[in-house]
Structure 1
Amino acid sequence: MARRLPLGLCALLSVGPVLADTSDTGERMSRAEQLKVFGAAGFSDQPTDCQLEAEHYENYRPVTMDVVKDLNGDGRLDAIITEGSTLCCGFTGQGFFIVTKQADGEWRQVASGEGIPQFLPHRGVDGWPDIEIAGPGTRRPVLRYDGNTYKLLPQP
């Protein structure tokens, strides 16, 4: 089932760009391109299930494109999209989606999950950084890119 963008975000996209960190490239993303990014993460123009479930709670954070930059050094933009509430995402209160722009100009999701992604210096296939998933507790799982998607590394 596709996730849906909050109606307020759809209205924002119709009148102006969503601001995101593009500091490493200086590129600004058009509204049409932003919609492709959100679509690759599985969002549409309807309210998300998380938004509908959490609408009566004050801790809902709407779908946001937080970071847009080249994460793996291939010269193409990648984006991190977040949405959250403790109702939908547990104690971390955040879900994340990482999408990458392909050579053909299309966007593809490479990772998603609950928690706060923190990029580590070690890199997997194609230069993608390992991702530590921060959240409550002492165990922090690490994901590594395998050439197609991020997979959970075995815990010691």
Structure 2
Amino acid sequence: MIEPTTGSVITMAIRRLLRITQLGLLVGTLPAALATGGQATLSAQDQAAAFTAAGAAQTKGMWTMCADDPNTTGARVETVSDLNADGLPDAVIAEDGTFCYGFTGIGYAIVSKQASGQWRLMSQGAGIPSFLAARGAQGWPDLQIGGPGFCFPVERWDGTAYSLHRHEYEGKACSPPQ
């Protein structure tokens, strides 16, 4: 089996297309600005606070969540929206790389601006987050963590943290392989 190189233009284009599709179009929670052709963004101050809440550090002029990856391309803000309808921005921050994120090749952090102005880490891990219509406490959407395979974990916000709620594939319950 031939492995594509990390820097392969084709590999990077395919990953970008998958991220756009899974983090935006399939999510069903596109920010209104994106839906109308604009781009929802964070101020430089909010962006720095969001990266910090995600556990990222600024190294060599870029934010990184996986400091050990020798070939990191850095973390980026993938989407900005109001996931729980509280009137404050929430952001999905993503970073590519198999060094820290294994075969999935992508890590994520979901952060939320609080009424106090501080940013809070809501969920973080390896995989591709998709937001489902079902909701947990405080209006937070269920979170499906995609990756290789066909049976994905779905986490639900319980008011304190996202935790495993079920597994599903294409909207149907499933049992992950043991």
TM over 0.5: yes
Aligned-pair distance for 1:154? 4.4
Aligned equivalent of 1:42: 55
Give every structure 1 segment of 4 or more consecutive aligned residues whose post-TM-superposition deviation is greater than 4 Å.
Answer: 25-28
Question: Within 5 A, what are the aligned runs for 1:64-143?
Answer: 64-143=76-155
RCO (CA 8 Å, sep 6+): is it higher in 1 or 2?
1
Aligned equivalent of 1:24: 32
How many Å separate the matches in 2 of 1:139 and 1:145?
A: 20
Counterpart of 1:148 (choices 160, 164, 176) is 160
* CA displacement 1:60-89 (0-9 Å, x = unmatched): 542010011100111110000001212210
- Structure 1 residues 147, 137: CA separation in 2 closer, same or farther (over 3 Å shift)? same
- Structure 1 residues 23, 154: CA separation in 2 closer, same or farther (over 3 Å shift)? closer
How many Å separate the matches in 1 of 2:55 and 2:148?
A: 26
**3-state SS of the aligned residue for 1:73?**
coil
Give the residue type in structure 2 aligned to 1:107.
W
Instruction: State the percentage of identical aligned residues.
Output: 42
Q: How many residues align?
A: 132
How many Å separate the matches in 1 of 2:101 and 2:58?
A: 21
Aligned equivalent of 1:5: none
How many Å separate the matches in 1 of 2:120 and 2:107?
A: 17
Aligned-pair distance for 1:53? 2.5
Give the residue type in structure 2 aligned to 1:105.
G
* CA displacement 1:101-138 (0-9 Å, x = unmatched): 11111100010011000111100000100011111012
CA RMSD after TM alignment:
2.2
- Structure 1 residues 76, 91: CA separation in 2 closer, same or farther (over 3 Å shift)? same
Give the residue type in structure 2 aligned to 1:93.
G
How many Å separate the matches in 2 of 1:132 and 1:90?
A: 18
- Structure 1 residues 63, 27: CA separation in 2 closer, same or farther (over 3 Å shift)? closer
Q: Is the 8 A contact 1:24 1:70 kept in 2?
A: no
Aligned-pair distance for 1:28? 4.2
